[in-house]
Amino acid sequence: MGATNSQQSDSTEEYVHAFNKWLDRWRGHLYEQAIFAMDLANHPPDRLATHVVFILVERTEPKPAERERWFKVVGAEVLSREERSTALLDFGVTQEQVDTLNRDSRGDHTIQINIIAGEHLRMLWCSFRDLSKYQDMDKAASASLADMWEQALIAKVASGKPGTQSDFGSGSA
Q: Name residues whose C-beta falls within 8 Å of residue 155's C-beta, 6 or more positions apart in sequence.
A: 171
Residues 81-134 have pLDDT tens digits of 999 999 999 999 999 999 998 888 898 999 999 999 999 999 999 999 999 999
Range scoring the smallest mean pLDDT among 74-78, 127-131, 164-168: 164-168
Residues 34-46 have pLDDT tens digits of 999 999 999 999 9
For the cut 80, the answer to whether the pLDDT of residue 153 exceeds it is yes
For the cut 90, the answer to whether the pLDDT of residue 169 exceeds it is no
**The predicted structure's pLDDT at residue 92:** 92
The pLDDT of 60-87, averaged and rounded, is: 95
| Cβ-contact 110, 125 below 8 angstroms | yes
How far, in whole angstroms, is CA 38 from its chain's centroid? 11
State the virtual CA torsion across 38, 26, 71, 10 in degrees, nearest 10: -120
| Cβ-contact 124, 76 below 8 angstroms | no
Q: How far is CA 81 from CA 113, 127, 135, 136, 148, in A?
A: 11, 17, 20, 24, 22
Identify the CA nearest to 123 among candidates 107, 150, 99, 104.
Answer: 104
